[in-house]
């Protein structure tokens, strides 16, 4: 097994193992900002351990779709973890699988399978949740594609690694309007895709206003553990793409040595801390939007990316 194969495994392992910690830290930090004590940062691991030990109750109306969906989703997230820059600055052996657009499709497949599962067991809340998520997704998708175009305008490719190199090697490219606008637009999408405030409240408890959570209300036990774990991985992945590709393109590890990988992990933890601060600030200073204003929020992302692309055309870069 070469060093690169080792790093490949290390990268996916990092995503798998650190994602719950990231979610736990976010929850704790938010609680502290709101003057509460909050759960321990290790709470997600405890939840996982408890859920994995439990058996699951599945409605007798549910079909194989309901059973299979968590595995499909989890596999999707694991796939993405192999192809995007998380700890190294050069593509790892499996990165040829997909570019940014391909990665987005895999993430969309995960969301789609969960939506199907929510419809499958015929619970009204599940239907409500999946229709809402699909609506938001359908608004976020065009904006996301435009964000990829801003990336393309800068690096002449849709490969996250090349974008990272283009930015890391030129201070001028870093403050280019195209890039700044694309980054802000992408951050909005990260918030929307992960169901954070102001799109959805991750700690909400009222079923009727939930979006993301109401899709998975029917799950329990092992399947629920997979779904939760998957959604933490999604947050972790999108945050690290956001940081590594858009905000702090420096500090990624050398892809030829394990030491480089370890250094990359250390840098990643620092970057995620920065991203987490941003998310916590937004979570605690904004209110959740009324449902139909979400379109305007995502429209802003679309507009930003569009202006970014048009500007790149004007500036010629």
Partner 1 sequence: MQSLSASSIEGVLLDLSAVMMLLCAFACLGSKLFDRYVAYYALQSVVLSFAAAVVAIHLGSGALWALAALTLAVKGIAIPLATRRFLLHRLDLRRDVALSTGLSTSLILGAFLTVFAYLAIRPGTLPHALVASAVVPLSTAVILLGGLCMVVRRHTIAQLIGWLILENGVFLGAITLVATFPFIVEAGIFLDLVAAVLIMITFVSGLAQRLATAAAPDLRELRE
How many angstroms separate the CA atoms of 60 and 57, rounded?
9
CA 58 to chain centre: 28
Half-sphere exposure (CA, 13 Å, Cβ side) for 223?
A: 21
Angle, CA 11 vertex, CA 114 and CA 110 arms, to 5°: 10
Q: By CB under 8 A, is residue 306 in contact with partner 1?
A: yes
Closest by CA position to 244, among listed 267, 225, 226: 267
Q: By CB under 8 A, is residue 303 in contact with partner 1?
A: yes
Q: Classify 2 in phi/psi space as left (phi over 0), alpha (psi -120 to 50) or beta.
A: beta
Q: By CB under 8 A, is residue 317 in contact with partner 1?
A: yes
**Cβ distance to partner 1 smaller for residue 104 or 140:** 140
Taking CB atoms within 8 Å and a gap of at least 24, the contacts of 13-18 are 14/86, 14/87, 14/265, 14/268, 15/77, 15/78, 15/81, 15/86, 15/233, 15/236, 15/237, 16/78, 16/81, 16/229, 16/233, 18/236, 18/269
CB of 175 to partner 1, least distance (A): 5
Helix (H) or strand (E) holding 194: none
Q: By CB under 8 A, is residue 316 in contact with partner 1?
A: yes
**Cβ distance to partner 1 smaller for residue 172 or 287:** 172
Q: By CB under 8 A, is residue 299 in contact with partner 1?
A: yes
CB of 186 to partner 1, least distance (A): 16
Q: By CB under 8 A, is residue 289 in contact with partner 1?
A: no
Binding to partner 1 by CB under 8 A, coded x per residue (else -) over 153-192, reads ------------------xx--xxx--xx-----------
Closest by CA position to 234, among listed 208, 207, 212, 215: 212
**Cβ distance to partner 1 smaller for residue 192 or 268:** 192
Q: By CB under 8 A, is residue 300 in contact with partner 1?
A: yes
Torsion angle in degrees (nearest 10) through CA of 273, 275, 278, 284 = -70
Q: By CB under 8 A, is residue 314 in contact with partner 1?
A: yes
CB of 306 to partner 1, least distance (A): 7
**Cβ distance to partner 1 smaller for residue 73 or 185:** 185
3-state class of 88 per DSSP? strand
Number of residues that bind partner 1 (CB under 8 A): 21
Q: Is 279 exposed, middle or buried (0-12, 13-18, 19+ CB in 10 A)?
A: buried
Q: Which stretch binds partner 1 (CB under 8 A): 122-130, 154-162, 256-264, 300-308?
A: 300-308
CB of 283 to partner 1, least distance (A): 22
Q: Which residue has the tokens 């393109």?
A: 249
**One of 9, 17, 97, 310 touching partner 1 (CB under 8 A):** 310
Q: By CB under 8 A, is residue 142 in contact with partner 1?
A: no
Q: Which residues inside 39-78 make contact with partner 1, applying CB under 8 A?
A: none
**Cβ distance to partner 1 smaller for residue 54 or 293:** 293
**Cβ distance to partner 1 smaller for residue 222 or 317:** 317
3-state class of 197 per DSSP? coil
Judged by the rule CB under 8 A, the positions of this chain that interact with partner 1 are 171-172, 175-177, 180-181, 296, 299-300, 303-304, 306-307, 310-311, 313-317
């Amino acid at each position: 097994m070469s060093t690169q194969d080792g790093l490949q495994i290390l990268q996916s392992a990092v995503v798998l193992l650190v994602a719950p910690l990231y979610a736990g830290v976010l929850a704790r930090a938010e609680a502290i900002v709101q003057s509460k004590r909050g759960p321990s940062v290790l709470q997600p691991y405890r939840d996982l351990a408890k859920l994995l030990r439990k058996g699951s109750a599945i409605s007798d109306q549910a079909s194989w779709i309901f059973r299979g969906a968590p595995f499909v989703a989890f596999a999707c997230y694991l796939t993405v973890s192999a192809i995007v820059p998380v700890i190294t600055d050069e593509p790892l052996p499996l990165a040829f699988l997909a570019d940014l657009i391909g990665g987005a499709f895999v993430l969309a497949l995960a969301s789609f399978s969960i939506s199907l599962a929510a419809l499958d067991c015929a619970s009204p809340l599940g239907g409500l949740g999946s229709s809402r998520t699909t609506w938001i997704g359908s608004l976020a998708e065009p904006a996301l594609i435009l964000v990829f175009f801003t990336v393309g305008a800068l690096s002449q490719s849709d490969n996250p690694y090349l974008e990272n190199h283009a930015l890391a090697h030129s201070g001028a490219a870093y403050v280019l309007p195209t890039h700044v606008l694309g980054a802000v637009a992408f951050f909005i999408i990260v918030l929307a895709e992960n169901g954070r405030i102001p799109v959805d409240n991750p700690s909400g408890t009222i079923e009727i206003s939930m979006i993301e959570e109401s899709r998975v209300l029917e799950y329990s036990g092992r399947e629920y553990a997979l779904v939760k774990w998957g959604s933490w991985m999604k947050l972790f992945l999108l945050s690290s793409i956001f940081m590594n590709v858009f905000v702090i393109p420096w500090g990624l590890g050398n892809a030829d040595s394990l030491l480089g990988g370890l250094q990359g992990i250390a840098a990643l933890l620092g970057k995620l801390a920065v991203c987490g601060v941003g998310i916590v600030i937004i979570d605690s200073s904004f209110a959740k939007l009324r449902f139909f204003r979400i379109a305007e929020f995502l429209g802003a992302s679309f507009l930003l990316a569009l202006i970014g692309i048009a500007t790149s055309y004007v500036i010629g870069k």
